[in-house]
Structure 1
C-alpha cells in the first residue's frame, strides 16, 4: 500500500511526487496515458517556478536550455504601443521552455528518488474508510484496488478525482476560440522577447522557444469564427500578415495547429477527507501571463511538506487545511487577473481601446510600473500573510515591521548569494536543503541558543541553524550553529532587513514562518502549527 497515491503525471503530480519522495514518503504516481506526452501546450517557467525545480533537485539543464525572456512588446499593427525590458543586471522573470521538457526533468528526478510512475492506469472509482482511501485503477490487466493513506488528484481540468470526490468546479468559458502552434520563423524579432499584436479580430502573441528560429504562436479568433487548421503554414502566414499589418515572414510549421477554449474555473474546495486536489484539477484560467504550469508547481511545493509531516505522523491532519487556505486565494487572484488581462486585450470597445492604448500601456513604460510588472510575472511576491500559519503580531511588532520594511511571516524568504567558510559561494535557499531553517543575525546569545534548542526539540534533524555574518573575521560561531554563511555583499541583510540580533524561521517551502520582530514565542507557534494546523 502506498502512503500517497498521486493521480496524474503532469508537472504538478510529478513535482508533488518529488516533494514527498524526498521527504521519505512512499509515493506512487498513476496516469491513464500510455506514456509521456510529446507535445507541449504550456510554455514557460516563472522565476519562482524555476526556483521550485531547483529546490526539488529537478532543474538540471533547464535554465541553460530555456530562453530567458528579458522583454516584451505590445503592438497595434507595426506601431509599438509599449515595451518592457529587464535591465542587464536583473535576473529573468520567465524562462521559456516547453512543458514536455519540464516533465522529462521531473520524471528523471522521480526515478532518482526511487518513485514509480504507472502508465495506462486510469482512476475509475474511489472509496474512503478505515483511515485510508482506496482507488480503483483500470490498467492493462483490468481493474484493481489500490489502497493509500492519501490520494491527490493532479489529473487536469477534466479531473476524474474531483468528480468522484463530489467537488464542484465553478466558473465558465470565454466565448472566443484560441489557436496554438509552433513554427520556425525567419524574421528579425529579438530572440529573447515576447510580442503581442492587438487587432480588431483578436490578439496574436509570439513567444521565442529553444532552438534556432523556433517560436510559439497563439491567436484568438472572433466569436463564431471558423478556420481551416489542416493547412497550418497557410493559416499562420495569414494570421501573421493580418495581425501585424506587414507581409508574412517565411515560416515552417512545426506541427498541427490546435484550437481550444479558455476556461476560468476554481474548485469549491481543495480537500475532501483524504482526497486532495492540485494544479489544473483545482483551477484553470486564461494562459495570459504564463502562470498556469507554475501555479500547479506552487501547489505541489506548498502541499508537499505539509502532507509529508502528516503522513509521517509528525503533524495533525488539520495542517492540510492550511494548504487550501493559502493556495486557493492565490488561484482565485490568478483567475481574476488573467481574465481581466484577456478581456482587456480582446475588447473592441472604443473606450476600452483608448484606455488601453493611451493610458495603461504608456504607464507600463515607467520604471516603477515596469518593475512591478516584472515582479508580478515572476511570482516571487506570492505570499500567505493572511493565511492560518502567519502568527499574529505582538504589541510593537507591527510598528517595527513597518519601520524596517522587513518581509513578514507568510512572505517568500528572499534568496541571496552567500559565501561559505571555505571561500566557495552558494545561495541561501540552497543551504536550507529543503528543511526548516533558523537564520540568526548578530552575535550568538543565550536567547538565540534557547530558541534553537526549543525548535530542535520539535523538529529534530529537519532544522538547520544558520548564522549570518558580515565576514569570517567578525563571526563568532557557537557549537549549536550548523553552518556559517557570510553575507559578503550584504544581499541577505537587504532582503530580510533584520534588526540587531534578529531571528527568522523559514518553512520547508522557503516562506517565512516566524520572525523575532513579531515578538511572539516561536516554539508555541510551531507547536500550534504541528498540533492544530493553525496558529490563529
Structure 2
C-alpha cells in the first residue's frame, strides 16, 4: 500500500516530495486536469526559503523569483527592512507567482519518485485498523483502492474533510476585495513593494519578475459588491486612482478576480489514518501572505513523521504531534491575519486614529522585530522544553568539525534525516548517536560554530530543535532522542 495525497497544490506537492525523499511511495490525486493558471498567492517567506535550502532545492525558486526585503507600513517611505531582524541568508520575501511555485514543487516531487494523477478525484473513503479504502473517479471511470494513509491537501472546499465529517468553523469576511495582475505605464519608483492606506481604502502593489504587477484593492465604496460581479479594467483604474491619488496607467490585465476572504480552522487535523494539511485545515485572509507558506510548513512537519509511521520506526505518539504542533500555530496566525485585515479596512475617525497610532508604534525596534519574525515564520516554536532552544527553528550555522573540516548545518539536512550535533570536547554522544540510530540521523562532532550551540543539539528533519542540553547525560540523551527517533538499535 502507498500514501494517497489528495490535491496537487503547494501543500500536497511538498508532502509528496518529503515522502519521496524518505523512500515512502505516494501518489497525488488532483481533480483538475491541468494546473490552475492564475496565482492567488505570490510570495515565499524567509522560513519557507530556509526549508527549501534544507532540502537543497532553493536555487530554482531564487532563479525565478524577486527578492523583496522591505515590508511596507502603508505610507510612503516607511517600511521595515527584514534584514535588520532576521538571522538568515533569506531575510526577504521572494515574490513568485503561485503557479511557478507549484511548477518547481512538482518537479521536486517527481524527482523524488511521486506519481501525480490529474483529472482524478476522491469521492468516498472508509478506513479500518490496517488502511483506508478510497473511492476514486478518473478518466477511465470509478474504482476503489487501498492506501496505508490518506492526506487531504485539497483546499478550502476539501472533499476529504467533508467525508471525514470534520467541522470547519469560522466565517467569510463581510467585505469583498480585488486581485488583479496587470501592467503599469507609471511604475512607482520609491519602493519595490508598497501599500497605501487612505480614507477611501487600500491599494497594495507588488512587482512580478515577468514585468506584470499584482494589485490588491480594498475600496470602501466597492467592498459590498457581490463576489460574482465581474471585475472590469475601468473599475480597478478608478478605485486605484481614487485611493492613491495618482494614475498608475493600469493596462493589459491578464487576471481580474473579486474575492471574499474566509477565516476558518478545522476542528481536527486527523481522524485515524486520514489527515488534513494546507487550506483543507485552515483558511486565511491574504494579509501577511501566510496561507501558502503555512501549508508548506504543515507538510514539512508532517512528512517525516508520516514516513516514520509508515516505515514502522516511529514512537507511538509521533504522528499525534503533527496536530498538536501545527493547529495552535494556525490558530495564532488566523488571529493575526484577521487583525491585519481589520487594520487595513478600518473606517471612521476612531478606527483611523487607532491605525495611525499602530503605525507609529511599529517604528519601535522591539515591536518591529516581533512583527517581522512572526510574518517571516522564523519565530515559530513547536512547544517548549527545559532548554531555551527546544522547539525553535534553527538558522543555518557554519560548523567546524573535529576533523577540521567546515560544514554548514542546512546541507546536513538535505537527506531529510535528523541531525545530532555534539559540541563536547570528547564527542562521545555523537559516536553514540551514530551507533544507536544509524538509519535516522546524521551525527557531527563540532569544535566551533558561527552561532552559539548547546553541548548537545538534536535538529529534527523539519529544522526545529527536538532536544537541547548544555549539560547532557546518557539517560537524558537516550530518552530525548528516542522520543523523536524511536527505539535505539542497541
**TM-score normalised by structure 1 residue count:** 0.83
Superposed, 1:287-298 pairs within 5 Å as 287-298=286-297
Which residue is 2:383 aligned to?
385
Tell me the residue number matched to 1:415: 396
Q: Which residue of 2 aligns with 1:13?
A: 12
Contact 1:70–1:193 (CA<8 Å) still a contact in 2?
no
Query: Structure 1 residue 300: deviation in Å?
Result: 0.4
How does 1:464-475 map onto structure 2 within 5 Å? 464-470=442-448
1:492 aligns with 2:490: no
2:369 paired with 1:371: yes
> CA offset at residue 531 of structure 1?
5.6
Contact 1:44/1:95, CA 8 A, preserved across alignment: yes
Aligned equivalent of 1:437: 419
How far did residue 229 of structure 1 move? 6.7
Match of 1:484 in 2: none
Retained in 2: the 8 A contact 1:43–1:99? yes
Structure 2 unmatched ranges of 5 or more = none
Aligned to 1:481: none
* SS at structure 1 position matched to 2:451: helix
Is 1:194–1:206's contact at 8 Å kept on the other side of the alignment? yes
Q: Does 1:83 align with 2:79?
A: yes
For residues 161 and 327 of structure 2, the distance between their equivalents in structure 1, rounded to whole angstroms, comes to 15
- Distance in 2 (alpha carbons) for counterparts of 1:256 and 1:452: 54
The separation in 2 between residues aligned to 1:315 and 1:89, in whole angstroms, is 36
Matched-pair contact (CA < 8 Å) for 1:11–1:103:
yes
Residues 425 and 194 (structure 1), Cα distance of their counterparts in 2 relative to 1, 3 Å cut: farther
Counterpart in 2 of 1:525? 480
CA RMSD of aligned residues (A): 2.5
- What corresponds to 2:239 in structure 1? 239
Instruction: Please say if residues 422 and 457 of structure 2, whose CA atoms lie closer than 8 Å, have aligned partners that are also in contact.
Output: yes
Instruction: State the 1:58 CA deviation.
Output: 3.5
How much has 1:323 moved relative to structure 2?
0.2
The equivalent of 1:452 in structure 2 is 430
Kept after mapping to 2: 8 A contact 1:93/1:374: no
Q: How far apart in 1 are the matches of 2:191 and 2:61?
A: 16
Aligned residue number for residue 196 of structure 2: 197
Question: CA separation of 1:8/1:16 partners in 2, compared to 1, >3 Å: closer, same or farther?
Answer: same
Q: What is the alpha-carbon distance in structure 1 between the residues aligned to residue 319 and residue 298 of structure 2?
A: 12
Q: Match of 2:126?
A: 127
Give, in angstroms, the shift of residue 228 of structure 1. 10
| Offset, 1:374 | 2.4
Distance 1:372 1:88 in 2: 12
Number of equivalent positions: 479
CA drift of 1:143 comes to 0.5
Q: Distance in 2 between matches of 1:53 and 1:16?
A: 13
- What residue is the counterpart of 1:209 in the other structure? 208
> What are the equivalent positions in structure 2 for 1:101-112 lying under 5 Å apart?
101-112=100-111
Q: CA deviation at 1:111?
A: 1.5
Contact 2:72 2:195 in 1 (8 A): yes
Distance, in Å, in 1 between the alignment partners of 2:345 and 2:422 is 50
Q: Point out the more displaced range, 313-322 or 161-170.
A: 313-322
**Offset, 1:385:** 2.5
Shift of residue 522 of structure 1? 1.9
Provide the rounded CA distance (Å) in 2 between the counterparts of 1:180 and 1:80. 22
Unaligned runs of 5+ residues in structure 1 are 394-400, 402-406, 471-486
Q: State whether residues 19 and 56 of structure 1, in contact with CA within 8 Å, keep that contact through their aligned partners in structure 2.
A: no
Q: Which residue of 2 is the match for residue 479 of structure 1?
A: none
- Which residue is 2:441 aligned to? 463
Q: 3-state SS of the aligned residue for 2:156?
A: coil
**Preserved CA contact (<8 Å) 2:15 2:300:** yes
- Partner SS for 1:492: coil
Rounded Cα–Cα distance in structure 1 between residues aligned with 2:85 and 2:352:
34
Equivalent-residue separation in structure 2 for 1:141 and 1:171 (angstroms): 38
Change (3 A) 1:529 1:419: closer
Distance 1:375 1:516 in 2: 25
Structure 1 residues 510 and 227: CA distance shift in structure 2, 3 A? closer
Give deviations 1:498-527, integer Å, cap 9, x for gaps. 3xxx11111111111111237570211233
Cα shift at 1:215 = 1.2
**Which secondary structure does the structure 2 equivalent of 1:319 belong to?**
coil
| Correspondence for 1:54 | 53
Aligned partners of 1:320 and 1:343: how far apart in 2?
36
- Distance (Å, rounded) in 2 between the aligned partners of 1:411 and 1:275: 27
- After superposition, residues 348-359 of structure 1 pair within 5 angstroms as 348-357=347-356, 359=357
Secondary structure at the aligned position of 1:146 is classed as: strand
Instruction: Say if 1:68 and 1:192, in contact at 8 Å, map to a contact too.
Output: no
Whole-Å separation in 2 of the counterparts to 1:52 and 1:143? 37
3-state SS, counterpart of residue 254 of structure 1: strand
Aligned to 1:269: 268
Offset, 1:71: 1.4
Q: Deviations over 1:260-289 (max 9, x none)?
A: 110000000100000000000000011100
How far 1:375 sits from its partner (Å)?
1.6
* CA–CA distance in structure 1, aligned partners of residues 209 and 190 of structure 2: 9
Distance 1:364 1:424, change over 3 A: farther
Asked whether the equivalents of residues 228 and 235 of structure 1 are also in contact (C-alpha less than 8 Å), the reply is no
Q: Which moved more, 1:196-205 or 1:14-23?
A: 196-205
Q: Secondary structure at the match of 2:363?
A: coil
